[in-house]
Amino acid sequence: MSAGNVILTGFMGSGKSTIGRILAKELNTYFIDTDNLIEYFENRSIKEIFEKEGEESFRKKERYCFEWIKNNVKNTVISVGGGFPVFIPEIKEAGVVIYLKVDFDDILKRMSEDEIAKRPLFQDIKKAKELFSKRDNIYRQLADYIIENRDIDGTIKKIKGIIDAS
């Protein structure tokens, strides 16, 4: 596996952070989430970064994060923001990419109001649905593996199977 990293991609709310944290524990390794890395480094929330500096500035921070991961991180489970692969199509250079595909209506059912409020690009549900449709193809094309509509245990089991086989 490239640098031994497992990278989880997917739309906002597809479960990347939830799955990543559990998986890392089961694999006895660490978990990092690019949104959290950016928030710690900036000492402010993604929402604030979008409001004060705009999306373009956030994307530059994601790019910086990618370069750092690629050059420094090994044998780690990494979850990235929903737009990360869209703006960084070389994502595979940092590890094996697994797309967690979940239908939009199921994502909506899962997310609490608080979880939606934290995500600037989820404020307008109609626009979020359009973004989802545009991105599905990109996520697919940039993934080494796709896991569709599974519960947490089923997803973890699938990923462990992928790791064992590679």
Ligand X SMILES: Nc1ncnc2c1ncn2[C@@H]1O[C@H](COP(=O)(O)OP(=O)(O)O)[C@@H](O)[C@H]1O
Binding site for ligand S3P (CB under 6 A): 12, 16, 35, 46, 81-83, 119-121
Q: Is 12 in the site for ligand X (CB under 6 A)?
A: yes
Which residue's CB is nearer to ligand X, number 61 or number 99?
99
Nearest Cα neighbor of 138 from 92, 76, 94 is 92
- With CB under 5 to 8 Å by kind, the binding choice for 18 among ligand X, ligand S3P, none is ligand X
Strands (E), 13-83: 31-33, 77-79
Q: Is 111 in the site for ligand X (CB under 6 A)?
A: yes
Q: Is 112 annotated as a binding residue?
A: no
Crossing angle (nearest 10°) for helices 55-72 and 46-53: 130
- With CB under 5 to 8 Å by kind, the binding choice for 15 among ligand X, ligand S3P, none is ligand X
Report the residue number whose CB is nearest to ligand X: 15
Task: Provide, rounded to whole angstroms, the least separation between the CB of residue 33 and ligand S3P.
Answer: 7
Work out the burial of residue 124: count CB atoms within 10 Å of its CB; fewer than 13 is exposed, 13-18 middle, 19 or more buried: exposed
Whole-angstrom CA distances from 114 to 62, 117, 118, 144 are 23, 5, 6, 32
Q: Is 164 in the site for ligand X (CB under 6 A)?
A: no
Q: Is 61 in the site for ligand X (CB under 6 A)?
A: no
Structure tokens at 139: 């996520």
* CA distance linking residue 91 with residue 63, whole number of Å: 10
Check: CB of residue 22 under 8 Å from CB of residue 112: no
Binding site for ligand X (CB under 6 A): 10, 12-18, 79, 110-111, 115, 151-152, 155
Positions at the binding site for ATP: 13-18, 119
Positions at the binding site for substrate: 35, 59, 82, 135
